[in-house]
């Protein structure tokens, strides 16, 4: 089923397919992968007919949502003191090789630029940005001179390119994705760690409280940390088919990049010290996949009001026959637009029921229905996409009703997502039980010998024999070994409780 999501390899010129027909009728719970594939097509989130594997065309409905998502994330980062930058997409090969662990981790995924359109070989190879540590931190070494320059918090919104060798899946796993990356410098390790905790709080405030996507935050095992980091922390959530998807990760880089790129500052005593770096990477296009998956239902998409591509659709009933209905609808649209809402009128010649079905499938949070009867009574019908309920309200109280219902709608979607997420963790006493849990949709909580490098062998067994991965230990609470208090794989005394699951 995921095969349907792979991009066509035929040249665009050879495509003779008709325009996409808008239909939707798939049970999300019974067949999530087919539901996800079909909603991408039916709601026109992306066109998969681009002729480069792993590179999709993002269509307006997903772009508008992600633009709103970017806005909330960037506002939160700016409130914390991060300043926006735009850095080049090309990174010299010598930069990428400057930090040994980093280059070892990323070079296999790099797209290289080696010559010009005229066929001239470039003076050196350039990496098409897979991540930006090796272009940010050389500049930090120029900009940071004194302890007075610290902390130094930056970010950019950007595309990154990685040669993903596994099966590509729109929004979930691509060779080009859209994200925000922060890069930061601090005087001490403790200040750097506090910033990492701040990244986790940003994820809670934005991804959970606004986008309505619940998650668990883990410290990754040492064998699964970011290339060039001391430690990695990541938010994991789960899709309706039980598979885990990593969302924002944040990294304690320590002084590795500072040593590689000579990032130093003079402290208050006049002595030189190395800068401590952290970085954080919310992938907006991947978070969008979780928004679609968590909130969508068998009618199609549902969006929290704050990030909906279109927040309000006005449907005039018999508007083409009644000039007053049309005129009132246009005035409402302009007034609501001026009030800051994303709002449009469906003035097409489709039947009302067809319009309702279409906008419900597209996930528009609020629908306003206005016909001659409502106009005569100075009323309007308000429909909520989250619960499917309608009510008739006075036109004079419309903006107040929108404010109340939009807030309730977003809170309701978040509550429903949290309910879905509530019972996804189950304790595994042995390997057999572990396999059963990860195959039945959820995280398995298990005793483990270690998340340091000496535990990598047991993690490899989990991956090879069960097809799952060790996600790490919880950050929000200290957990003690339970039951037998022995590692679920090797039987040695357990030093840590970990979470295990199958991932995209």
pLDDT at position 226, please? 95
pLDDT at position 8, please? 38
pLDDT at position 40, please? 96
pLDDT at position 238, please? 93
**Domain region containing 483:** 425-501
Taking the chain (504 residues) in runs of 10, the rounded mean pLDDT of each run is 38 42 75 94 94 92 98 98 98 91 88 94 95 97 98 97 83 93 98 98 98 98 96 96 94 97 97 98 97 96 98 89 91 97 95 95 98 95 98 97 98 97 93 93 94 97 97 95 97 98 92
pLDDT at position 23, please? 59
3-state helix, strand, coil in the chain (%, to 5): 40, 25, 35
The domain boundary, picked from 403, 421, 439, lies at 421
Q: Two tokens at 215?
A: 């998650």
Q: Are residues 225 and 320 in the same domain?
A: no
**What is d(CA 178, CA 80) in angstroms, rounded to the nearest whole number?**
22
The domain boundary, picked from 421, 450, 485, lies at 421
Sheet containing strand 366-370, strands side by side: 343-345, 312-316, 366-370, 379-384, 390-394
Does a structural domain hold residue 92?
A: yes
Does a structural domain hold residue 464?
A: yes
Does a structural domain hold residue 41?
A: no
Q: Are residues 228 and 333 in the same domain?
A: no
β-partners of residue 249 are: 234, 281
**What is d(CA 244, CA 442) in angstroms, rounded to the nearest whole number?**
8
Q: Are residues 246 and 128 in the same domain?
A: yes
The domain boundary, picked from 421, 456, 478, lies at 421
Does a structural domain hold residue 243?
A: yes
Q: Are residues 75 and 199 in the same domain?
A: yes
**What is d(CA 215, CA 201) in angstroms, rounded to the nearest whole number?**
12
Question: Where residue 447 sits, what CATH number does that domain have?
Answer: 3.30.110.30
Q: Are residues 443 and 404 in the same domain?
A: no
Q: Are residues 355 and 482 in the same domain?
A: no
Q: Are residues 463 and 391 in the same domain?
A: no
Does a structural domain hold residue 10?
A: no
Q: Are residues 224 and 145 in the same domain?
A: yes
Does a structural domain hold residue 248?
A: yes
**What is d(CA 426, CA 457) in angstroms, rounded to the nearest whole number?**
23
Domain count for the chain:
3
Whole-structure pTM value:
0.93
Question: Where residue 321 sits, what CATH number does that domain have?
Answer: 3.40.50.800
Q: Are residues 453 and 470 in the same domain?
A: yes
Does a structural domain hold residue 3?
A: no
> Look-up: residue for tokens 């770096």?
277
Question: Where residue 249 sits, what CATH number does that domain have?
Answer: 3.30.930.10
Q: Are residues 352 and 445 in the same domain?
A: no
Does a structural domain hold residue 31?
A: no
pLDDT at position 190, please? 98
**What is d(CA 499, CA 471) in angstroms, rounded to the nearest whole number?**
5
pLDDT at position 166, please? 73
Q: Are residues 439 and 383 in the same domain?
A: no
Which parts of 361-501 are beta strand (E)? 366-370, 379-384, 390-394, 425-427, 443-448, 469-474, 496-501
Helix axis angle, 398-422 to 323-338, nearest 10°: 70
Q: Are residues 385 and 331 in the same domain?
A: yes
């Amino acid at each position: 089923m995921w095969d349907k999501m792979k991009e066509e390899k035929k040249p665009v010129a050879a495509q003779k397919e008709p325009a996409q027909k808008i239909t939707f009728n798939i049970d999300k719970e019974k067949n999530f992968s087919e539901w996800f594939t079909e909603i991408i097509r039916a709601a026109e989130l992306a066109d998969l007919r681009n002729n480069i594997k792993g590179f999709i065309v993002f269509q307006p409905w997903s772009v508008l949502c992600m633009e709103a998502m970017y806005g909330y994330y960037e506002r939160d980062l700016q409130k914390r003191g991060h300043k926006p930058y735009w850095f080049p997409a090309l990174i010299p090969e010598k930069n990428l090789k400057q930090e040994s662990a980093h280059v070892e981790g990323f070079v296999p995924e790099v797209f290289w630029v080696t010559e010009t359109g005229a066929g001239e070989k470039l003076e050196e190879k350039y990496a098409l940005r897979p991540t930006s540590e090796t272009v940010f931190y050389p500049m930090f070494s120029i900009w940071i001179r004194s302890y007075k320059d610290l902390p130094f918090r930056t970010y950019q919104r950007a595309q990154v390119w990685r040669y993903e060798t596994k099966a590509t899946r729109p929004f979930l796993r691509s060779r080009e994705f859209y994200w925000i990356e922060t890069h930061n410098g601090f005087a001490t390790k403790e200040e750097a760690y506090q910033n990492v905790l701040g990244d986790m709080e940003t994820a809670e405030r934005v991804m959970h409280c606004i986008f309505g996507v619940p998650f668990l935050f883990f410290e990754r095992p040492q064998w699964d940390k970011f290339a060039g980091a001391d430690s990695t922390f990541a938010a994991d959530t789960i899709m309706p088919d039980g598979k885990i998807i990593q969302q924002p990760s944040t990294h304690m880089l320590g002084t590795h990049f500072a040593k590689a790129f000579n990032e130093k500052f003079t402290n208050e005593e006049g002595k030189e010290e190395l800068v401590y770096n952290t970085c954080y990477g919310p992938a907006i296009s991947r978070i969008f996949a979780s928004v679609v998956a968590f909130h969508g239902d068998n009618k199609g998409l549902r969006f929290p009001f704050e990030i909906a591509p279109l927040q309000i659709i006005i449907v005039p009933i018999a508007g083409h026959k009644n000039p007053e209905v049309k005129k009132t609808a246009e005035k409402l649209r302009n007034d609501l637009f001026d009030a800051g809402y994303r709002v449009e009128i469906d003035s097409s010649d489709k039947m009302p029921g067809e319009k309702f079905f279409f906008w419900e499938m597209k996930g528009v949070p609020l629908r306003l229905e206005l016909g001659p009867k409502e106009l005569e009574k100075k009323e309007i019908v308000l429909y909520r996409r989250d619960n499917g309920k309608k009510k008739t309200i006075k036109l004079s109280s419309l903006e107040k009703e929108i404010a109340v219902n939009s807030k309730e709608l977003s809170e309701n979607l978040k509550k429903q997502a949290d309910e879905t997420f509530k019972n996804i963790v189950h304790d595994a006493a042995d390997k057999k039980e572990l396999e059963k849990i990860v195959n039945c949709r959820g995280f398995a909580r298990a005793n483990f010998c270690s998340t340091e490098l000496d535990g990598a062998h047991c993690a490899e067994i989990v991956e090879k024999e069960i097809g799952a991965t060790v996600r790490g230990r919880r950050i929000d609470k200290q957990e003690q070994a339970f039951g037998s208090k022995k590692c679920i794989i090797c039987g040695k005394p357990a030093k840590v409780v970990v979470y295990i699951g199958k991932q995209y």
